[in-house]
Amino acid sequence: MQLFFRQAGQQASRPIVWLIGFFAFLNVYSMQAVLPMVMQDFHASPVQAGLTVGATVLAVALVSPFMGMLSDAFGRKVIICASLFALTVPTALIPVAGSLNALIFLRFLQGLAVPGIVVVLIAYLSEEFHSGGVARMTATYVGGTVMGGFCGRFITGHAGHLLGWRGAFVTLALLNLFGALLVLWLLPPSRYFVANRNIRAGFGTLWRHLHHKRLMAACAVGFCVLFSLVGTFTYVNLHLASSPFNLSSAGLANVFSVYLVGVLATPLAGPYVVRFGFLRSLLGALALSAAGLSLTLLPSLTAVIIGLTVCSTGVFICQSATLSAIAQNVSEGRSLATGIYYMSYYAGGAAGSLLAGMAYEGWGWGGSVLSIALMQALAAVIAAVAWRQPAQSGG
């Protein structure tokens, strides 16, 4: 009977977990669909325009560990809701940005609010759900992030086509406010959270995390994974906006429909991650992603779209497997551990926005693909070395 009520509680919580992932990632990559418009408006180079994406993910990387410690001290729901409301403010100011530097700064401020949502929610799931429930709820959350990432690009692209890129961000600001109110109303308070306001103990936990081999390997894999995703979906827009494709912002927004496959595939992958293990799931997903990436080199829009679909699905499964591995292998300071992971993960995104952009400026889309493929190969090597051995106490 107790098991029945636990399972019923998990099912009831899945929609709100999905929604939190959705609203967290509605904004992070929304600039990608209108990147050619921003380049034209501010007379920017590809790398300069790419900084409007990289600034957001860099901010997420910088704040994530500290947000984990803050959440361990003050609780989960209050930090999640406050962060959602804080995200609304810079989004509402983006439409009045008068220079590229101002736009980059506001995008950086957006990123500062995101860790309070994504880092803290993973800790919330680790505490409130147990055994296979963590993997399933994590997969549900990742499915929400995928849909949010898609809708952010899709809405911004189509709204930008009708209203300009500034009008598109007015739309996003209104959606952010609605999402914050919805989560405040629907998210259940924590039942198993125990506050830890001992700062000295927090730094002790940080030290142990930094010597936890499997956690550090997961962080390195996360760096490579987001490098791949940001590098791919930032500069493929410039590739598709140029000859022979010549897509408009609305056309680029439609390309992001490939994310919908990830929305379906990622939750379905949860049970298989549990069944086959984190290492096999990750290596298989990386191989899938690399195969899809190679298809984008063909001079055919159909081939590029199929390639992006396969590539992104593989990346989303990688993310789900890695987060589940952290939840299963870390038993203390989970919010801090997740914060360390996201610091590395989003640092990879920032690196992808820069290095894949430099490769694009030097050698075109083929250069970007090569830089991304090398990073995926590095992720496979790290995972194979670190996760092949059985887990031992202390990492």
The more confidently predicted of residues 13 and 339 is 339
Q: Give 7 or 60, the one with higher predicted confidence.
A: 60
pLDDT score for 14:
74
Residue 9 pLDDT greater than 50, yes or no: no
Residue with tokens 């990147």: 35
For 315-344, what is each residue's pLDDT tens digit?
888 887 887 777 777 767 676 787 788 889
Q: Could you tell me the residue ranges of all domains in the chain?
A: 13-187+208-387
Cβ count within 10 A of residue 112: 18
Mean pLDDT of the chain: 83
pTM of the model: 0.77
Residue with the bigger pLDDT between 13 and 390: it is 13
CA distance 12 to 14: 6
Residue type at 367 in one-letter notation: G
Q: Which CATH architecture has domain 13-187+208-387?
A: Up-down Bundle (1.20)
In tens, the pLDDT along 205-221 reads 777 877 788 888 889 99
Tokens of residue 184, six digits: 């405040």
Distance CA(333)–CA(119), nearest Å, equals: 12
Q: What's the pLDDT tens digit per position in 148-199?
A: 888 998 999 999 989 899 999 999 999 999 999 998 888 877 766 565 666 6
Q: How far apart are CA 47 and CA 38, in angstroms?
A: 12
At 108, the pLDDT band (50, 70, 90 cuts) reads: very high
d(CA 315, CA 290): 9
Residues 6+ apart with CB under 8 A from 196: 72, 73, 202, 333
Q: No. of H helices and E strands in the chain?
A: 15, 0
Write out pLDDT tens, residues 233-280: 889 989 998 889 988 888 888 888 887 776 677 667 767 776 777 788
pLDDT in the model for residue 3: 40
Pair 169, 91: CB distance under 8 Å: yes
The per-residue pLDDT for 199 is 64
Residue with token string 């900084």: 51
Angle at CA of residue 378, ends 57 and 307, nearest 5°:
70
Q: Could you give the CA distance from residue 280 to residue 380 in angstroms, rounded to a whole number?
A: 10
At 141, is the pLDDT very low, low, confident or very high (cuts 50, 70, 90)?
A: confident
Residue 138 in this model has a pLDDT that exceeds 80:
no
User: Rounded to an integer, what distance in angstroms lies between the CA atom of residue 214 and that of residue 197?
Assistant: 26
